[in-house]
Structure 1
Amino acid sequence: MRTLSRECGVTDADNPWLSRPVAPQPSAPAYTGAPTARPTGPSAPQRGVPAPDRAALLPTIDQRQDADLWWLGAHGGAGETSLAALIPGWPAAGHGWPRTPGAAPARVVVTARSSMSGLRAAQTSATQWAAGLVPHVQVLGLVLIADAPGRLPRPLREFAQVVAGGFARTWTLPWIEAWRLGEPPALTAAPREVRRLVDELSALLRPGADGTAN
């Protein structure tokens, strides 16, 4: 985690990162009793985190509706559309921070591929949020989706750990060949890691749930 501190140019004391229409449908699956995913990283913007280069920033997009949760792809091909197809009430944000008409911050889960470029994009989005540049969102965590079958090479595993330190929670999803071949994503047919992700997010969205979404 010291690597992230050096890249951001902040001291250890300042940087706690160290360690589309459809018929009306339920906005989220029924809670199945999954435990709430507790934060393992920062749950709020942090003092002393410098903003990334302006050219790297994700834009803010005004949305016409509220949603229980938004998937925000940190880069093209990050999986936000596939994940949004699983739950009608959890839409894709279109690669931009959602600004909704409601008074409460939009709850966001950032998605990225586990390639080096995907991880860097996720890190930049975390830094943009942590620097306080998008106060209209509440970041619940990061979903890293495998960019290829098999085990990640060591440099990617190590950098993924660094990037995960900038998010309250991180979920890891495997390579899903069916999605690559264009099969419509379906929760009932998804790998257990995807179903667990949805269960844990559903738990986080319950009123009064332990964590940052209340």
Structure 2
Amino acid sequence: MDRFDPPTAVLSLPATFEKAPPAVVRPAPPLASGAGVSWVGAHGGAGATTFAGALGGTDVGHAWPDVAQGDPGDMLLLARTHLAGLQAASKALDSLRTGRHPAGVRLVALVLVADAPGRLPTELWRRVRVLRAAVRTFSVPWIAQWRVGRPAPKAPRSVVELAALIPPRSGAPDRADTRAGAGAPDRLDHPAPSIRPVPKDGP
């Protein structure tokens, strides 16, 4: 499966998003109880590895989950809150909304991760509001301890809420094992959200 090119992904939607085969649009089936979620970075450095390590789930990096190879189809899309990150998130959401993604992939939520401490500039905050209006969104504040690889003394509420979406995977194989045929994870026990169009004057 092709991976994204991090150096160019920050400025535009990566080729894997753009060239993915269109999915057949069907009503979402009921989700079975079980574990498994893929962390997908809308751009390089979005935090997929950090969040998968902290909260569990599968880090698929900067690519769509490969359901055929055992990646969980339910995905959490990550993006930083700088301009390029918000633009990448907008383009990825548009690909999901219009069916330009592999079959079996379903968005759980968008996760916007602060790229710096403090408040966002007005221009970026407006873009965040547009994305929040389009899809379920979690905003994770700047966590200084994570920058140096240490756990935060108290997890922000948004991180606690994200953790609640990811059931524990008791005895579940890691990604390498699932790719070898040890079994694919089930879906999460919540409905798939709808994605409203992002206005053209948005991100």
TM-score grouping bracket, smaller chain normalisation: 0.5 to 0.7
Within 2, Cα distance between the matches of 1:104 and 1:178?
29
Q: For residue 85 of structure 1, what is the aligned residue in structure 2?
A: 53
CA distance in 1, matches of 2:165, 2:110: 13
The ranges of structure 1 where at least 4 consecutive aligned residues each deviate by more than 2 angstroms after the TM superposition are 55-58, 101-105, 163-167, 188-193
- Matched to 1:198, the amino acid is A
Residue aligning to 2:41: 73
In structure 1, runs of 5+ residues without a counterpart are 1-54, 62-66
Please, what is the CA RMSD of the aligned residues? Answer: 3.0
1:205 is paired with a residue whose SS is coil
- In structure 2, what is the equivalent of residue 166 of structure 1? 134
User: How far apart in 1 are the matches of 2:47 and 2:70?
Assistant: 28
Alpha carbons of 1:102 and 1:94: their partners in 2 closer, same or farther (altered >3 Å)?
A: closer
Matches of 2:60 and 2:142, distance apart in 1: 22
Q: Is the 8 A contact 2:80 2:86 kept in 1?
A: yes
Q: Which residue of 2 aligns with 1:34?
A: none
Letter in 1 for 2:66: R
**Match of 2:120?**
152
CA distance in 2, matches of 1:189, 1:58: 38
Q: Distance in 1 between matches of 2:14 and 2:95?
A: 7
SS of 1:165's equivalent in the other structure is: helix
AA at the equivalent of 1:190: A
1:191-202 equivalent positions in 2, closer than 5 A: 191-202=156-167
Structure of greater relative contact order (alpha carbons < 8 Å, 6+ residues apart): 2
- Equivalent residues in 2 for 1:173-184, closer than 5 Å: 173-183=140-150
TM-score normalised by the chain length of structure 2: 0.63
If the length of structure 1 is used for normalisation, what is the TM-score? Answer: 0.60
1:57 touches 1:128 (CA, 8 Å); kept in 2? no
Question: Would the aligned equivalents of 2:46 and 2:80 in 1 still touch at CA under 8 Å?
Answer: yes
By how many angstroms is 1:70 displaced? Answer: 0.4
Q: Sequence identity of aligned pairs in percent?
A: 36
Give 2:110's aligned amino acid.
L
Contact 2:55 2:166 in 1 (8 A): no
